[in-house]
Structure 1
Amino acid sequence: MKFRLRKQKKINRSRFVDFLLMALLFTVGAFMVLPLLFVISNAFKPLDEVFLYPPKFFVRHPTLNNFVDLYHLLSASWIPFTRYLFNTFFITAAGTAGHIFIASMAAYPLAKRKFPGKNILFSIVVMSLMFSTQVTAIPNFMTMSWLNLIDTYWAIIVPAFGMSLGLYLMKQFMEQIPDALLEAAQLDGCSEFRIYWSIVMPNVKPAWLTLTIFSFQSLWMISNEGASPGRLYLYSEQLKTIDYAMGQILAGGIARVGPSMAATLILISVPILIFVFAQSRIIETMSTSGMKE
Structure 2
Amino acid sequence: MLSQAQVSQLLSLLPVPTFLLNAQGACLQRFGPQAASDCVDAFLPQDTIAKVYRAEKAQWLISQLQAALAANAPLEVEFSISQHDRLQPHPDSSDKRWFSANLQALDFSVHGENLVLLMLHDISHYQQQVQKWAFYDEVDLLSHLYSQRRMSKELSAHFSLYHRHHAPCSLVLFELDCFDELQQQCGHNLSDNIIELVGKICVSAIRQEDRAFRYHHNGFVILMPHTDTEHAWGLIDRLRKALHLQLLEMDLPQACTSISGGLSQFHHNDQRYMEVLNRADTGLLHAKELGRNRICLEHLH
TM-score class, shorter: under 0.3
Richer in strand (by share): 2
Structure with the larger RCO, 1 or 2 (CA within 8 Å, 6+ apart):
1
Q: Which has the larger radius of gyration?
A: 2
TM-score by length of 1: 0.23
Richer in helix (by share): 1
